[in-house]
Amino acid sequence: MLHETLISPFVEFEFMRRALVGSIALALAGSPLGVFLILRRMSLTGDAMAHAILPGAAIGYLFAGLSLGPMTIGGLIAGLIVAVGSGVVARTTILREDASLAAFYLISLALGVTVVSLRGSNIDLLHVLFGSVLALDDATLILLASIASVTLAGVALLYRPLVMETVDPGFLASVSRAGGPTQIIFLALVVLNLVGGFHALGTLLAVGIMMLPAASARLISQDITAMLAISAAQGMLAGYAGLIISFHASLPSGPLIILVAGLFYLLALVFGPAGGLMRRLKPRRHLEA
């Protein structure tokens, strides 16, 4: 019974195996980046970047249809333009970075939906906004695996300056000039993972697999290394559980993956040992932090 419920769908159906591999690749690379976004108080940056890739991907779709290459390149270029543009606006005007990101996010979302509507149908629009994790082909899986490999290698190489800039950017600036390049590479990795997630989960849900497991990990542990591992594990488990539930319940897979990740977040919000509600309600000893 357990084999038929939990394992058999992946043994019998190739599209389920492809969806699982794609979900694991997204979680393995994206969720740890979400941890750094949360610790750096840049959570909304991930959401803004997810919508920022929409017009670029839509323009690629306008010229080549639902083609992997043009939509990927277009989304990557659009995301980088918004990332750089919002930073320039924040440094040259009175607007803070969150306000400039919000403006770019709204413009990008509206522009992307309009561009898709010029040529496509409602089905194409739904594909762009919500993805199709059950329809991943070989080229998309190779792209997701490549993005995961580049991201993990980048995080490993930049781990020390990335942690230092997250914890104490002033100290890093005083001892090294690595802060600026680290920030640029980090944002580039975020955009790269959102572009990959776009093909599986769409622009509206791609950020979910990045931020929800990271938020859960923040409530479970106070150690950054542990947060990275917990977030990746939760993201992969959410992908597996969401696919299983969607298969047996005949419901959309992408939203269910994010809903399972949201359920893990709610459980951590209540029972998380590092910051959950139960910990807040537990009586503390004198002078205990």
- Biggest CA–CA distance in the chain, Å, is 66
The answer to whether residue 179 scores a pLDDT higher than 90 is no
Collapsing DSSP to helix, strand or coil, 66 comes out as coil
Domain ranges of the chain: 2-273
| pLDDT tens by residue, 18-65 | 999 999 999 999 999 999 999 988 877 777 788 778 888 878 877 877
- Among candidates 59, 12, 31, 41, which has minimal Cα distance to 265? 31
**Residue 207 DSSP one-character state:** T
Please tell me the distance from the alpha carbon of residue 28 to that of residue 40, in angstroms, as a whole number. Answer: 20
**Residue 275 DSSP one-character state:** T
Please tell me the distance from the alpha carbon of residue 165 to that of residue 57, in angstroms, as a whole number. Answer: 32
The answer to whether residue 123 scores a pLDDT higher than 60 is no
Query: What band does 271 get if pLDDT is binned at 50, 70 and 90?
Result: very high
| pLDDT tens by residue, 192-235 | 898 888 888 877 788 899 999 999 999 999 999 999 999 999 99
Collapsing DSSP to helix, strand or coil, 196 comes out as helix
For 272-286, letters b (16+ CB in 10 Å) and e give: beeebeeeeeeeeee
Question: Whole-prediction pTM value?
Answer: 0.86
Cβ 144 vs Cβ 196: under 8 Å: yes
Q: Looking at domain 2-273, which of 1.25.40.20, 3.30.70.100, 1.10.3470.10, 1.10.10.410 is its CATH number? A: 1.10.3470.10
